[in-house]
């Protein structure tokens, strides 16, 4: 029977930190400017007066205190309010490839694997910079990896779906190992003029090396993948309508629906029980008692969601050691969130400890991975 391991992870963190106070000051300045500029329309009821935000509101609603971004000057400019990124020439690394390569090199080093032994590269993320050529092929080329590469997108669940994709390919014998990269410039699809969501996302890149497990683990920090489980159910409650057909419908170009938008309360109500049920069913199918799980590395979208998911599964609220939170520092980083938590906090696990890596998001999509520490 083929056994498979996660042998290395990597993390790229942008240099610029954007705090809640900085974000709120900029947003509230925009609100003042908007309300003054549209005073007459507000008086007649043609448009609604915008309401200000606060750092206290953001932290209570989400648990987010700050986020890393590729550029904050553009975000804080009330006349621009989005990251200001330099246009890359076609002979330069793209934005996503550049950050992805940094995370990938760290994962490869941590895995102690030779480049020649990597057979494939998958970029699994929410927000691809372009349709083609694939960012994965660009990263493959930059790292001099032979074999094949492709991009995939299952929104915030992309990483766990990517893990199962590689797991299945290794199980089938088509490859020996693969590199998965999750580059996320989430600030690029965020509506910084929307009080309900302008604080949600940050930028980051993660990477994971997955390979066939022989009798001896690749290193002391390797994890056997025992089982994976995926689930999707269509919902419009988290959506982004930006795409290549937008220019064919000119009336919609530049509208708010071409950025991230969600019905947050409905997402919370519907996703939390689905995630908890899937995890419990997955454990039961593998005859694993919940009490035998030593850690859960959950998607980092909202601290309140994670607390409730843990409570549904465990019967009580989980400690931060058991279910680490990184979104207070990184915010929601889409597909990378659960991988950041795993990368930064898996050193608490001991040999043979069982843990869960779980992500969930737009789709709806949910992915769960059960791992066992080898070293």
| pLDDT tens, position by position, 161-194 | 999 999 999 999 999 999 999 999 999 999 999 9
Q: How many CB atoms lie within 10 A of CB 171?
A: 16
For 287, residues 6+ apart whose C-beta sits below 8 A from its C-beta are none
Match 């509101």 to its residue by tokens: 57
Q: How many CB atoms lie within 10 A of CB 188?
A: 21
Q: What integer is the mean pLDDT of 60-79? A: 97
Alpha carbons 370 and 296: distance in angstroms, whole number:
9
Query: What is the fold, at CATH topology level, of the domain defined by 223-373?
Result: Peroxisomal Thiolase; Chain A, domain 1 (3.40.47)
Q: 269 - beta bridge partners?
A: none
The token duo for 123 is 């970029």
| 264-285 and 303-314 helices, crossing angle to 10° | 30
Q: Are 21 and 192 in contact (CB under 8 A)?
A: no
> What pLDDT is recorded for position 220?
80
Q: Are 110 and 8 in contact (CB under 8 A)?
A: yes
Q: What are phi and psi of 179, to 5 degrees?
A: -110, 125
> What pLDDT is recorded for position 219?
78
The pLDDT tens digits for 342-354 are: 999 999 999 999 9
Distance of CA 18 to the CA centre of its chain: 18
> What pLDDT is recorded for position 216?
72
Looking at the chain, the whole-number percentage of residues with pLDDT higher than 90 is 97
Alpha carbons 286 and 213: distance in angstroms, whole number:
20
For residue 330, name the pLDDT band (cuts at 50, 70, 90). very high
Q: pTM value? A: 0.96
Active-site residues, by number, are 156
3-state secondary structure of 85: coil
For residue 152, name the pLDDT band (cuts at 50, 70, 90). very high
> What pLDDT is recorded for position 273?
97
Residue from 174, 178, 176, 172 nearest 152 by CA: 178
Alpha carbons 37 and 33: distance in angstroms, whole number:
6
Domain boundaries, the chain: 223-373
For 369, residues 6+ apart whose C-beta sits below 8 A from its C-beta are 160, 163, 164, 225, 227, 228, 356, 357, 358
* 57-62: Cβ within 8 A, 24+ apart: 58/20, 58/23, 58/24, 58/199, 59/20, 61/302, 61/304, 62/199, 62/200, 62/302, 62/303, 62/304, 62/327, 62/331, 62/332
Output 220 or 298, whichever has higher pLDDT: 298
């Amino acid at each position: 029977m083929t056994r498979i391991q996660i042998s290395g992870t990597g993390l790229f963190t942008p240099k610029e930190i954007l705090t809640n106070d900085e974000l709120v000051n900029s947003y509230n300045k925009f609100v003042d400017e908007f309300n003054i500029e549209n005073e007459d329309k507000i008086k007649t009821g043609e448009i609604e007066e915008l309401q200000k935000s606060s750092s206290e509101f953001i932290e209570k609603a989400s648990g987010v205190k700050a986020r890393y971004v590729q550029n904050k000057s553009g975000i804080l400019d009330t006349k621009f309010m989005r990251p200001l990124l330099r246009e890359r020439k076609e002979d330069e690394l793209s934005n996503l490839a550049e950050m992805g390569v940094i995370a990938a090199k760290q994962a490869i080093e941590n895995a102690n694997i030779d480049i020649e032994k990597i057979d494939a590269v998958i970029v699994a993320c929410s927000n691809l910079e372009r349709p083609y050529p694939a960012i994965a092929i660009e990263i493959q080329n930059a790292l001099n990896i032979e074999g094949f590469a492709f991009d995939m997108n299952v929104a915030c669940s992309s990483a766990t779906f990517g893990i199962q994709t590689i797991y299945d390919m290794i199980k089938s014998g088509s490859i020996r190992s693969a590199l998965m990269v999750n580059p996320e410039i989430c600030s690029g699809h965020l509506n910084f003029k929307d009080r309900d969501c302008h604080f949600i996302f940050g930028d980051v890149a993660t990477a994971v090396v997955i390979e066939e497990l022989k009798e001896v683990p690749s290193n002391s920090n390797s994890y056997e993948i025992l089982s994976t489980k995926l689930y999707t159910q269509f919902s419009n409650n988290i959506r982004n309508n930006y795409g290549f057909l937008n220019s064919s419908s000119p009336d919609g170009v530049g509208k708010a629906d071409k950025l991230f938008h969600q019905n947050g309360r409905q997402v919370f109500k519907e996703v939390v029980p689905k995630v908890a049920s899937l995890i419990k069913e997955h454990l039961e199918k593998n005859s694993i008692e919940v009490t035998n799980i030593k850690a859960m590395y959950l998607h980092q979208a909202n601290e309140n969601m994670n607390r409730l998911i843990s409570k549904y599964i465990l019967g009580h609220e989980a400690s931060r050691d058991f279910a680490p939170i990184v979104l207070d520092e990184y915010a929601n980083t889409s597909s990378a969130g659960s991988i950041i938590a795993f990368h930064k906090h898996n050193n608490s696990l001991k040999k043979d400890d069982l843990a869960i890596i779980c992500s969930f998001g737009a789709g709806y999509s949910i992915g769960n991975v059960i791992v066992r520490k080898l070293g």
